[in-house]
Structures are given as structure tokens and as C-alpha cells.
Amino acid sequence: MALVITTSAIFVAQSAYAQVNPIRLNTIGYLPDSQKLASIVGSGDSFTIIRATDHAVVYSGTVGPRALNVDTNEQLGVADFSSVREPGQYILEVKGAGTSPPFKIGSDVYDQPFRVAMMGMYLWRCGTAVSVTYDGKTFAHDACHLDDGWLDFVGGGHNHKDGTKGWHDAGDYNKYVVNGCYSAGVMLQAWEHFGARLKSVPLKLPESGNGTPDFLNEIRWELGWLLTMQMEDGRVYHKLSTQRFGGFIKPEKEKAPRFFVPWSSAATADFAAVMAMAARDYQPFDPAFAKRCLEAAKKSEAYLLAHPEDHPSDQNGFSTGPYAARDPSCRLWADVELWETTGEAQYLSDFQTRAARLGHKVDRTAGWGNVTDLAMYAYLLSTRAGRDPALVSSSRADLLAVADQVVKTSSAHGYGRPLGTAYYWGCNGDVAQQVETLEVAHRLSPRPEYRQTALSALNYLFGRNCFGRSMVTGLGYQPPLHPHDRRSGADGFAWPGYLVGGGWPHPMDWRDQQENYRVNEIAINWNATLIYALADVIDG
Ligand code: 9MR
Ligand code: ZN
């Protein structure tokens, strides 16, 4: 097929690619000075990069030798066009194999994806009407779940207490504290690492212009709900949920009662961590809110100190998401964030005692089930005095060793996947999560490979994968159209800005099917790590 890059030709090209395109690259694009690799399956040795505006061949190269990519069992060759730096729109053509989807080169290629992923968070808001027009379509729902929630299961009788606001968790509309705290925590870390850039990115929120940066405005919607989950004595309810998952209807149509679900020490500790972070992050913009967050954090922490046992939530009667996290890593996180905010020596010494008990200080990934790494990032990047030099140096060494391993794993993988051959529920979210470890490593001990591998994570998610497709709704080439998402299902079209979980146990198990929740659901924690990764690379 002759290559003509006009809008209609791109359309023709897309229908021709109903089969998986053998040329797999980041279909959003590449930063000008970054490494630029495509993975090629099948034959074809020479390739060219063709510019959209005048169809000029701007680069010719040779596809590297084929090598077996073990997890997908494909022979893959790499086309390296890193030396093309000129901003613009391009196509990669492999003689005998075909053409890639169009992609861009530019310092701003991630600006729009960042905003769209943040728009996804806004569209997840519960307890209010939302509406956005994106790409010519309107995505909207009326105010939902205004009855949140009932106290029947927490000893309050059939009585009501405010539990409105927050984000829906995922493709379902329930709200889970452990995952909400993890997601808000990752986003607040993004704020702490990249706030100088993020503060000026307008997100078109109802609160825009209120003097608080929009990035923080969005997270505050979740924090407002989290505050309603705290009990008088500092314990925190584990979730607010229907008893069973509801149908594929719009959220305002879901009328089944939603209940507070008994407390857990994991939720309580995660809550303390996030409220401590919020206290320092919102201080410059809303000191009264910051004070409220700090008091809430201290109250929960005080309860935990007086009750050291790991207390799981009694979820009897509920078949919705369990998020059954155990509390040790959550307590570690609470200690360090309270110390970072207050400077109080007791929090530091509690953290250090707990951390010293861990065999290795930094894990391969963080997630709602294990927030150790979030705590370690905070400790290692802290500029406060008083840290134990031995713990700093051993945890620093652990973190750099993990980051070096991620670099190695990514470069050994045929698609540059930083998570290598590990495939499990929500692994796309963990591909994005690697970016934070790499970023923290880069801050402690800069290496260009850390940056490059962070970008490899995004390359993978936006199309350099065995499907040659974007894994984020509304973005890039052939994104998911049928995510496991009740709003998308009810409307009959995919709501934009959401990373889907990804194939497992085999990478090729991903299907763009609504019913396939194990591989095609969306979730706030996966979006939060994607947002961190995009915040790392936007132009601002
Ligand atoms: O992301 C969660 C995954 O790690 C668990 O294995 C899985 C089963 O418990 O649940 C996932 O979380 C889901 C939650 O339970 C309910 N809302 C949708 C979440 C994403 O699939
Ligand atoms: Zn709702």
C-alpha cells in the first residue's frame, strides 16, 4: 500500500490494521531527545521514517537481528530511529512488512495524555454531576450516590452518615479506602516531585481558579470523602459499598443501598499517611484544610499506637472488592509521612524501628497491598535532619539495586517492558509504577538509563506491545473500546483517559471485551501510577 499521510489515508491505514500491526511502537509519540525504538515482528530488514507534511524520508535504517521474546514467543527485531529529533508527525515503514500507525515527535507529546488521564479522575467523581466533551463526544452523568452511606454494618442501626464524594474505584462504583489512599498518595507524591510543572497545568475543573492548583483540586475530591470515613476514635472504615456488584447502568441509576464496612488497621494507617501528606501539600493554599488533615492523621495514628495488632475488616455480607491489605507496610508509611510533615522525633523513630525489621527495604513494586516503597521514597527523598545514616545508606542501596534491575529487565525484553515477564491482575498499572522507582533512583543517583527506562514504560503502554495498541481509552492508536466500566457499558462508548489492567497470566490474554474484567477493567490505582509517569515527562 502506498503511503500517503492525510487524514483519510490514516483512516484507510487503520482499517487495514484490523489485524495486529507487525510494527509496534509508542503511538502517542516520543520526546525529541529520547531513545526511539519500535519492535518489528515478521520479516523486513530495512525501514524508513517518513514525515507526514511532505512525505519526505527523513531517516533510513536497518531492523536489528530477530531474537526470541520469550513471553510472547515472537521473533522480534528492533528499529532504532533515536536520531530523528525534529518535531513533527511521522510513520515508520518496514519494507515488506507495512507501515506503523502515525506517531509524533515533540517535547509536548505527553501533555495531552496527562490531561486526559486527569480528566479520567474527574469523570470518576462520585456525589456530583460530571460532564466533559472530548473528541466531539460528551461524557456525562448526573449526581450519583447522594445517599452514601448507611451505618447498619458498623453498629449504627439503619441510620445514615455522610460518606459522599470521592472517586468511584474502577469499573464498579464502590469506594474503598485502601485503594483510595494508595491512589491519592501516589498522586500527592507526583505533586511533591513535579509540582513546579503541575501547578500551572489547567484541568478545567469546577474548582478551577479557586487559588489551589487544579492537580490538587482533583485529589481533594477524594480527600473530602476519605475524611468522612474516619470514626470518632480515629479508626477508619474499610470501604463504602453495595453488598454486591451492581449492573452496567449509569451511577445515578444505581439505587441499591451502600454501607460503611467495618474498619481495618490497614485503612486506618493508609489514611493517616495520606492525611499527613495532604497537611503539608495543601498548607500553602488552604491552611485550615491542612490543619484538619493533620489532626485527622494524628488521631488515626494515636489509635494505631494504642492498638498494635493488625486488624482486618469484617467484610461479612459483602462480595465487592475486598482490598484485604495487611497493615505493617501501611503503618510504616503513616510513620514516615507524619514525621515528614511534623518533624516529630517519635514518628521518625517508629518508622526507623519498623524499617530496620524489613529484610530488604525496597520491593520490586508498590501497590495497594504493599506501600513499603511509597514510605521508602518519602524517607529517601526527605531533606529533614535526623535520619539514621545506616538505614539511609542500606535503603538507598536497595532502591538503586531495584532500579538497576528494572533497567536490565526492560532492556532484555522485546518490547522494553520494565516489568519483564511478570503478568498478573492490573500489571499495566505496575508497568507505570516502575516509573516512580526509576525517578527516585534518578534523584538519588542520576543515570540516563533510569530516564530511558521510565519512557520505555510509557512506550509499552501506548503501543510498543504485542498488540501494537494503546492500553489507555481515548488515547493513541486503537485504544480499548469496551473497557469493563459501568459508565462506558451504559453509554455504549468508552469513557476516555483510563488505563486497562492488561493481559494475564499470559500477555496475549488481553481482550478488548467489557465482560473480561480480569484484563480489561480500569481502576484509580492504575490511573494514579500512569498519572505519576506522565507527570514525570510532560512539558508543563
Ligand atoms: O486490583 C485488584 C487486584 O489486585 C485483585 O487481585 C482483584 C481481586 O480481588 O481485585 C482488583 O481490584 C478490583 C476491586 O476488587 C474491585 N473494584 C475493581 C478493582 C479492579 O479490578
Ligand atoms: Zn457515585
- pLDDT tens digits, one per residue of 425-475: 999 999 999 999 999 999 999 999 999 999 999 999 999 999 999 999 999
Q: Residue 77: what residue type? A: G
> From CA 480, how far away is CA 238, in angstroms rounded?
31
Q: Would you state the cell numbers that stand for residue 400, as one nine-digit string?
A: 538503586
Separation of CA 368 and ligand 2 centre (Å): 21
Q: Please report, in angstroms and rounded to a whole number, the separation of the first and last CA atoms in the chain.
A: 38
Which ligand is nearest to the Cα of residue 365, counting in written order?
1
Which atom of ligand 1 has the smallest separation from the CA of 426?
Answer: 1
Mean pLDDT score, 333-347: 98
Query: Which residue is closest in CA terms to ligand 1's atom 5?
Result: 425
Residue 22 has pLDDT above 70, yes or no: yes
The predicted structure's pLDDT at residue 528: 99
Give the pLDDT band (50/70/90) at residue 360. Answer: confident
Which atom of ligand 1 has the smallest separation from the CA of 526?
Answer: 1
Closest CA to 489 of 463, 517, 511: 517
The predicted structure's pLDDT at residue 5: 35
Tell me if 113 sits within 8 A of 28, measured CB to CB: yes
Give the pLDDT band (50/70/90) at residue 13. Answer: very low
Query: Which of 518, 521, 525, when mutated, tests ligand 1's pocket best, judged by the most ligand atoms within 8 Å of its CB?
Result: 521
Helix (H) / strand (E) element for 430: namely: helix 427-444
The predicted structure's pLDDT at residue 16: 36
**Domain ranges, ordered by start, for the chain:** 125-353
Residue 7 has pLDDT above 50, yes or no: no
Separation of CA 244 and ligand 1 centre (Å): 14
The predicted structure's pLDDT at residue 15: 39
**What is the DSSP annotation of 297-338?**
HHHHHHHHHH--S------TT--S------SHHHHHHHHHHH
Q: Average pLDDT, whole number, for the chain? A: 95
Give the pLDDT band (50/70/90) at residue 2. Answer: very low
Which ligand is nearest to the Cα of residue 176, counting in written order?
1
Q: Are strands 29-30 and 103-105 parallel, antiparallel or unpaired?
A: parallel
Query: Which of 169, 176, 524, when mutated, tests ligand 1's pocket best, judged by the most ligand atoms within 8 Å of its CB?
Result: 169
> From CA 463, how far away is CA 479, in angstroms rounded?
9
3-state secondary structure of 239: strand
Residue 10 has pLDDT above 60, yes or no: no
The predicted structure's pLDDT at residue 359: 82
Tell me if 462 sits within 8 A of 225, measured CB to CB: no
- pLDDT tens digits, one per residue of 224-248: 999 999 999 999 999 999 999 999 9
Q: Which residues are catalytic?
A: 172, 484, 512, 521
Give the pLDDT band (50/70/90) at residue 167. Answer: very high
Bridge partners (DSSP) of residue 259 are 150, 241
Q: Count other Cβ atoms within 10 Å, centred on residue 500.
A: 30
Q: Which CATH number is associated with domain 125-353?
A: 1.50.10.10
Q: Would you state the cell numbers that stand for residue 283, as one nine-digit string?
A: 498548607
Residues with CB under 5 A from ligand 2 (ion): 126, 144-145, 251
Q: Residue with C-alpha cell 516520543? A: 30
The predicted structure's pLDDT at residue 60: 98
Q: Residue with C-alpha cell 543515570? A: 447
- pLDDT tens digits, one per residue of 462-478: 999 999 999 999 999 99
Query: Which residue is closest in CA terms to ligand 1's atom 15?
Result: 321
Q: Report the pocket of ligand 1 as residue ranges, CB < 6 Å.
A: 169-170, 172, 321-322, 425-426, 521, 523
The predicted structure's pLDDT at residue 251: 98
Q: Is 502 left (phi over 0), alpha (psi -120 to 50) or beta?
A: left
Residue 17 has pLDDT above 60, yes or no: no
Which atom of ligand 1 has the smallest separation from the CA of 523?
Answer: 20
